[in-house]
Amino acid sequence: MLFACSATDDFFRSRIDHMIDLRHPLAVLASRMPWQEIEARVAQVFSRRGRTGAAMPDLDLFGEQAPAHHRRAPAARD
């Protein structure tokens, strides 16, 4: 009989804190970062702003595309 880990409701999904070494320097740093303060300051920069202008559906930012050539696959060999 198989038993799931008590830390998870799903046998095939482990909790992230069981997969990460919380003593790793980056994990320690992440736990000490003032995330709410950082998010509050950065949110102003990335907030949506009303933009003036018109949509240009015919404008292709990647340049003109070459026509696709449909080649037939060669016959399979036996």
Q: What is the pLDDT of residues 31-64, one digit of tens each?
A: 999 999 999 989 888 887 777 777 777 777 777 7
Q: How many CA within 13 A on the CB side of residue 32? A: 8
Greater pLDDT, 52 or 5: 52
What's the pLDDT score for residue 13? 80
Segment 10-31 shows an average pLDDT of: 86
What's the pLDDT score for residue 2? 44
User: Residue 4 pLDDT > 60, yes or no?
Assistant: no
Q: How many CA within 13 A on the CB side of residue 72? A: 3
Mean pLDDT of the chain: 77
